[in-house]
Amino acid sequence: MALEFNVLNTTEAGGRRGRIHLPHRTVETPVFMPVGTLGTVKAVAQDVLENLGAEIILGNTYHLYLRPGHEAIRRMGGLHRFISWPRAMLTDSGGFQVFSLSALRKVTDEGVRFRSHLDGSSHFFTPEHSMDVQIALGADICMAFDECTEYPADRKRAEESLRLTLAWAQRSLDHFQAHRHEVPWHEELGGKTQSLFGIVQGGMYRDLRRESVERLVEMDFDGYAIGGLSVGEPRDLTLEMIAEVLPLLPADKPRYVMGVGYPDEIEMYARMGVDMMDCVLPTRAARHGLLFTSEGRLNIKGKKYAEDQGPPDPACECMVCQRYSRAYLRHLMHSGEALSATLNSIHNLAYYLGIMEHVRKSLHSDGGDS
C-alpha cells in the first residue's frame, strides 16, 4: 500500500531509469525535487510548476509545523489539498532545520528541545512526534527523524550521532507503522498510505556509513536516503561517501541523496544510481540573480547584460528564455521587482528538471543489465 518502485533499466555505471508509484503520482526517476519550504516553491505558482514538469516537490516539516501548524493542515485535509498540489510530495523529518535554524537546542536520547527561530517559543521533537507531524501533513514520502552530523566531526562525535540516528530510525519506523493509516487522505485514496525512508548518516567515515546502511536495511524501510552531505565538506568527499553507500543499498528500493547540488553534481549522481535529489540551490540562487545555463553560470546583475537582448540561455526552451531577454531580467533584478525572483526561479528549475529529463532518456537507451 506504500510505494511501488520499478527499475526499468540499469547501466553499467549503476545509473537506473525507474518509476516510483506514489499515492498522488507516478514519478519518473531519476528525479529532481524542487523545494517548497513553507508549502510554496518560493515565487513560483503551482500551475507553473506543473507546466515545468515537476512531479514531486518537498515541504519542510520544521517550517510547516511552526506555520501554519500540522494540526491545522490535518484538519484541512493535508498538505496536498492545503496548497492545491495534486502531484507527489515529500516531507523531511524536521531534523535538519532543527539543527540548522533553531536556537538553544538540547539533544537527549529522547529527542530535541529547541526554540523557534521565529518567536523563541520552546518545542520538543521526538522521532514519534516527527512522524505524527509528517502523517498530519500527509506527503507521499516521509523521512525518519535523524540527527545530521556536522562537518567536521571527530570520530567519537560521529559514532555517537550515528548511534542516536539509528535508535531514532527504529522508533520512527515503529511509530510510523502504527499510525500510517491516520494520514488525512487514507480513505479518499482507497486505503493507500505514505512511505517512510531511512536516512544513512555516519559523517565522513566510510565504515560508519556502511554500518548505518546495514542497520537501516535490516529495519526494512520503503526507501533510503543519504543524509549529512552538503554540510560544508569538499565535493570529492561528498562523492566518496555517495560512491561508498550506493552499492550497499538494496537495488529494489529508491535511493535519495538529500540537499544536492549543482547541475553537474545532480547529473553525475544520477548516472551513478541516485534516484532522487532535492536542493534549494536553483531557487535560492535565482533570487540572488544567479542563472544556470547551458553556457555556464550567469550572474544576471552584470552590467554587460544591460542591453543584451538575447535569452538567458539560448539553448533553453523554458517560458522565460522563450519570452524575456537578459536585459529585462537584469532590469527587474536591479529594480527590486518581484517578477525577478519568479522568472529567474522558473528558468533555473526548468534547467534542473531538463537535466534530469535528459539523464532519464540517456539511462533508458544505454545498455543495461536489468
Binding-site ranges for its own copies (CB under 8 A):
38-40, 42-47, 67-68, 72, 75-77, 81-84, 306-307, 309, 319, 323-325, 327-328, 331-332, 334-335, 337-339, 341-343
Smallest distance, its own copies to C-beta of residue 323, A: 5
Q: In the complex, what is the shortest distance from the CB of residue 140 to its own copies, in angstroms, rounded to a whole number?
A: 19
d(CA 13, CA 137): 37
Distance in Å, CB of 189 to its own copies, minimum: 19
User: Which residue, 3 or 333, has its beta carbon nearer to its own copies?
Assistant: 333
Q: Are the beta carbons of 344 and 42 closer than 8 angstroms? A: no
Question: How near is the Cβ of 75 to its own copies at its closest, in Å?
Answer: 6
Minimal distance, residue 67 CB to its own copies, in Å = 5
Catalytic residue among 47, 92, 119, 222: 92
The 8 Å CB, 24+ separation contacts for 214-221 are 214/248, 215/166, 215/169, 216/166, 216/169, 217/248, 217/249, 217/250, 219/169, 219/170, 219/173, 221/144, 221/169, 221/173, 221/196, 221/197, 221/253
Place of cell 525577478: 340
Q: How far is the CB of 83 from its own copies (least distance, A)?
A: 6
Looking at the Cβ atoms of 9 and 325, the one nearer to its own copies is 325
In the complex with its own copies, the residue whose CB is nearer, 57 or 83, is 83
Q: Where are the alpha helices (H) located in the chain, listed in sequence order? A: 46-52, 61-66, 70-75, 79-83, 95-100, 127-137, 155-179, 206-219, 235-245, 263-272, 281-287, 319-323, 326-334, 338-365
Asked if 252 is an active-site residue, the reply is no
Cβ closest to its own copies, residue 66 vs residue 274:
66
Find, among 193, 196, 197, the residue nearest to 180 by Cα. 193
Q: Which is nearer to its own copies, 76 or 237 (CB)?
A: 76
**3-state DSSP call for residue 255?**
strand
CB of 266 to its own copies, least distance (A): 24
Catalytic residue from among 140, 146, 278, 313 = 278
Which CB, 184 or 228, lies closer to its own copies? 184
Residue nearer to its own copies on the CB measure, 41 or 158 = 41
Is 278 an active-site residue?
A: yes
The DSSP line for 49-90 is HHHHT--EEEE-HHHHHHTT-HHHHHHTT-HHHHHT--SEEE
Of 90 and 329, nearer to its own copies (C-beta) is 329
Q: How far apart are CA 205 and CA 208, in angstroms?
A: 5
CA atoms within a 13 Å half-sphere pointing along the CA-CB vector of 127: 25
Return the percent helix, strand and coil in the chain, to nearest 5. 45, 20, 35
Q: Angle 202-18-5 (CA atoms, 0-180°, nearest 5)?
A: 75
Separation between Cα atoms, residue 37 and residue 117, nearest integer Å:
15
The residue count of the chain comes to: 370
Which grid cell is 109?
Answer: 536520547
Which amino acid appears at position 101 of this protein?
Answer: L
What SS3 state is found at 283?
Answer: helix
Report, in Å, the least distance between residue 26 CB and its own copies.
22
Give me the active site residues, please.
92, 278
